[in-house]
Amino acid sequence: MAQKIIKGPVDDNSLNSTNHNFTELYNGKRKANERINNIVDEMSDEAFNKVVNSAKLDWDTMVEKYSDLPSDAEKGVTVGVKEDGKVYRYDGSKWVDIYEINLNPISEVDDRLSSQLAQTDNRINRNPMLPITIPTYDGSNQTTHPDVLYFENGWNGSNYWMVHTPYPYSDEKIENPSIARSTDGVHWTDPVGLKNPIDEPTEQDLLDKAHFSDGVLVMVGETMECWYRYVNRKTDEELFFRRKSTDGVNWSDREIVYNRSNTGVNRMLSPTIIHEDGKYRMWYVGTGLQVFYTESIDGKSNWTKEVEVPIDFIAGEESFRAWHIDVVKEDGLYHLVATTHVPTGDNRKRRLFWAISHDGLSFENGKIILKTSEKGFDNGSVYRCSLVVVDDGYLLYYGSRNTQGMWKVGLVGGETVDTMKGILPYNRFGNFLLDRLIVDYLELIQGDIDELTVSGKLIAPQLITTGIQPTDDYGVKFYGRNVFGPTLDDEAVEPYIKMNSSDNKKKPGAGFKLNEEDSHMIDVVRNSGARGGHLNVGAIILNGDGLYREGALRFNSNTKKHEGFDGTKWNALY
C-alpha cells in the first residue's frame, strides 16, 4: 500500500495516516529481515552440506591392493586396502588415504565370512532337481557313463554328441554303447538312421557273463571314434574296442585297440582319450585305483609303458582315489574330473572332484565339485562324469543312481568348473522335458504336492514316465508311458493278479501277489488268493546271492553248484 501524506492540524485522519505509515514501515522491515534470514539459512545449509559432503564416508567392501580400487566410484566412497592397511576415500577425482589402521583382524573376519558365504552359496542348488532325458534302445531311459563332445559349428548337423551305456537297474546285459545327439545339450535323440546300440554281446558272451561298458568319444580330424571296454569273466579277457564313423550313423567294424587279457597286471577302468599332436593320449584307472597314462601313434599298437599320474588336492580338502575319470584339454590346460572311490562301500558318499594340469602327467589343486544328493534322482550315488568346454563356460554331464536303483544322467553348468549348478531340462525352444519323474522330488522347491496333471490326466504321486519333446519352434508332443509298470489299488481291485482259465467258463485261477512281509518278494497264489500256488515253467535261472530265508535256493557261481538255505547256512544240493 502507498505512503499517506500527513497535513496539519492533527486530527483523526492525520492520526490514522501516521499509524498506517508506522505499520507499513514495520512490515517492510519484517519482510526484509525474513528475506535476509532466508538468505542466511540457505547459505548456511549450502555451506553445511558442502562441509558434510566433503567429509562424507560411504563404506564399501575391502579390496586386496590399491590397484583394485575402482576408477568410477562415487564421491565419498571409502574403502580399506588390505595390502597396505590404509583407508582411502574418493574425493570425486582421485583416491586419498585418510588414515592408517590395522586391518588384519577385519581382513581375517572378512575373508572367513566371504569363504563361508561362498561355500554356503556353492552348496545351494548344486545338484539339479531333475535329470535330463537320454532315450535308450531298451525303452527304460535308464543310462549312465556319458561322454560328450561339443562342436561350436556343429558336426553332421548337431552341436553335441554323446556315447552312453543303458543300465536299467544295473543290468549289465543292456550296458551296450549307444550314440545320441543334441542341438542344445539338453534335448537328446538318436541320430536319424541309427539303430542303437552300435555293438552288443553275443549269446556266448552272455553265457560267459561278458559285457560292455565305459564308452568314450574321440575326434581325429573329421572322423568320430567310439572306444569302449569289453570284459569276459569266464575267459579273463579285458579288451578295448574302437569303431569309427564320419556321420554318426554308419560305424566301421570293431577293432581291438588295447588288450589286457590274461596279463595278471592292472585292469583298465574308465579309459579316457585325447588325440593331439599326432598321437593318442590315454588315461585310465588301474586295479589299485591309481590313474595311469600311456600313448600311441596309431591308437592300437606300440603303446608306451604306463606311468602313474599323481593327483594332489588343495590344502584342507580331503584326498580321494579316483574311480571313473574324464580328461579334457582347454587351450594349454588339462582338466581331470572323476568320481571318487568309497572304501566303505556306501555309494551315497561318492563325490565328483576336479583337478588341473599343464602336461597331463600330474594333476594338482584337486577339490570336490559335486556330492551325492540327499533327496533327488541322484541320492544313491554320483558316477562317471564328462566335462564339456562350451562358449561361455562349462557343462558337466554325470551318471547317477537313486536309492531305488534307477540310473539317470544329471547336468550342471557354470562359468567356472568349481561353481557349476544344476540345469533344469529345458530345451532350446523353452519346453520343459520330463522323464520318469518321482513327483515327491518337486517338494524340493514347491512344497507338498498332492497331484500332478500331465496332458490333461491326473497322475497320483507315484513313479511316472512322461516326456515332452519339441515338434517345432512353438509346439510340443508327449511320449512314453503315463505310468511305469502296472499298479494295483487295494480299494479298487483285489490285491493280487489272477488269470481266468482258458475254457468257456473262464473260471478264476492262480496268480501273483505281493508278499505281505517283504515288498521285494512275489508270492504265487491259489485261485483264492491264498499262498501255495504252483509254478510250471521250462526252466528257472537262479542269479545272485539269494534271500537268506529258510527254504531259499540259489546258484553259487564260485562252486558251480545249487544250494539251499536251512535257516542257518547254505548247503550244496549235489
* Reduced 3-state DSSP string for 495-517: CCEEEECCCCCCCEEEEEEECCC
The dihedral formed by the CA atoms of 548, 552, 553 and 559, expressed in degrees to the nearest 10: 30
Question: If you write DSSP's letter for every residue of 456-494 in order, what string do you get?
Answer: TEEE-SSBB--EEEESSSS-EEEES-SBSS----TTTS-
Q: Does the pLDDT at position 59 exceed 80?
A: no
pLDDT in tens, 463-511: 333 344 444 443 333 333 333 333 333 333 344 444 555 554 445 567 7
Q: Is the domain of 458 the same as that of 388?
A: no
So what's the pLDDT on residue 344?
72
Instruction: Report whether 98 contacts 87 (CB < 8 A).
Output: yes
Domain of residue 227, residue span: 143-428
Q: Is the domain of 378 the same as that of 421?
A: yes
Give backbone dihedrals phi and psi of 351, rounded to 5 degrees, phi first. Answer: -130, 165
Lowest mean pLDDT among 172-186, 393-407, 507-521: 507-521
Residue 66 exposed, middle or buried by CB count within 10 Å (0-12, 13-18, 19+):
middle
Q: Are β-strands 178-182 and 188-189 bridged in parallel, bridged antiparallel, or unpaired?
A: antiparallel
Question: Within a 10 A sphere around the Cβ of 253, how many other Cβ atoms?
Answer: 8
Q: Which of the listed residues 95, 123, 151 is the one where a domain comes to its end?
A: 123
Residue carrying the nine cell digits 514501515: 25
Q: Which of the listed residues 60, 91, 123 is the one where a domain comes to its end?
A: 123
Residue 257 to residue 486: CA distance in whole angstroms: 45
Does residue 3 form part of some domain?
no
User: Given pLDDT bands bounded at 50, 70 and 90, which one contains residue 228?
Assistant: very high
Does residue 374 form part of some domain?
yes
Q: Is the domain of 185 the same as that of 314?
A: yes
Nearest by Cα to 288 from 306, 300, 261:
306
**Mean pLDDT computed over 76-97:** 83
So what's the pLDDT on residue 509?
65
Does residue 157 form part of some domain?
yes
Residue 417 to residue 369: CA distance in whole angstroms: 8
Instruction: Report whether 18 contacts 5 (CB < 8 A).
Output: no
Percent of the chain's residues with pLDDT above 90: 40
Residue carrying the nine cell digits 531333475: 130
Q: Is the domain of 147 the same as that of 91?
A: no
User: If DSSP states are collapsed to H, E and C, what string results for 10-50?
Assistant: CCHHHHHHHHHHHHHHHHHHHHHHHHHHHHHHHHHHHHHHH
- The mean pLDDT value of the chain amounts to 76
213 vs 82: which has the higher pLDDT: 213
**From start to end of 262-392, where are the E strands?**
269-276, 279-285, 291-296, 307-309, 311-313, 322-330, 333-340, 351-357, 363-371, 381-390
Instruction: Report whether 356 contacts 333 (CB < 8 A).
Output: yes
**CATH number of the CATH domain containing 232:** 2.115.10.20
Number of structural domains, the chain? 4
Q: Is the domain of 470 the same as that of 422?
A: no
Nearest by Cα to 134 from 437, 410, 412:
410
Q: Are β-strands 508-514 and 522-525 bridged in parallel, bridged antiparallel, or unpaired?
A: antiparallel
For residue 489, what are the CA distances in angstroms to 52, 149, 463, 493?
Answer: 76, 46, 15, 6
Does residue 440 form part of some domain?
yes
119 vs 257: which has the higher pLDDT: 257
157 vs 101: which has the higher pLDDT: 157
Instruction: Report whether 248 contacts 179 (CB < 8 A).
Output: yes
Q: Is the domain of 203 the same as that of 249?
A: yes
pLDDT in tens, 294-349: 999 999 999 999 999 999 999 888 888 899 999 999 999 999 999 998 877 788 88
Q: Is the domain of 518 the same as that of 538?
A: yes
Percent of the chain's residues with pLDDT above 70: 66
So what's the pLDDT on residue 459?
36
68's CB contacts (< 8 A; 6+ apart) are 81
Nearest by Cα to 476 from 437, 429, 436:
429
Does residue 63 form part of some domain?
yes
**Mean pLDDT computed over 262-287:** 87
In single-letter form, the type of residue at position 206 comes to L
| Helix/strand/coil percent split, the chain, to 5 | 15, 40, 45
Q: Is the domain of 384 the same as that of 407?
A: yes
The model scores a pTM over 0.85: no
Lowest mean pLDDT among 37-51, 79-93, 219-233, 361-375: 37-51
Q: Does the pLDDT at position 254 exceed 90?
A: yes
Does residue 138 form part of some domain?
no
The per-residue b/e assignment along 175-200, b for 16 or more CB within 10 angstroms, e otherwise, is: bbbbbbbbbebbbbebbeebebbbbb
Q: Is the domain of 543 the same as that of 417?
A: no
Instruction: Report whether 367 contacts 418 (CB < 8 A).
Output: yes
Does residue 453 form part of some domain?
yes
77 vs 106: which has the higher pLDDT: 77
Does residue 492 form part of some domain?
no
So what's the pLDDT on residue 191?
95
So what's the pLDDT on residue 431?
57
Q: Does the pLDDT at position 438 exceed 50?
A: no
Nearest by Cα to 137 from 196, 193, 191, 202:
196
Q: Is the domain of 105 the same as that of 251?
A: no
Q: Is the domain of 56 the same as that of 165?
A: no
| Tally of residues, the chain | 574
Residue carrying the nine cell digits 552348496: 123
Q: Is the domain of 217 the same as that of 104?
A: no
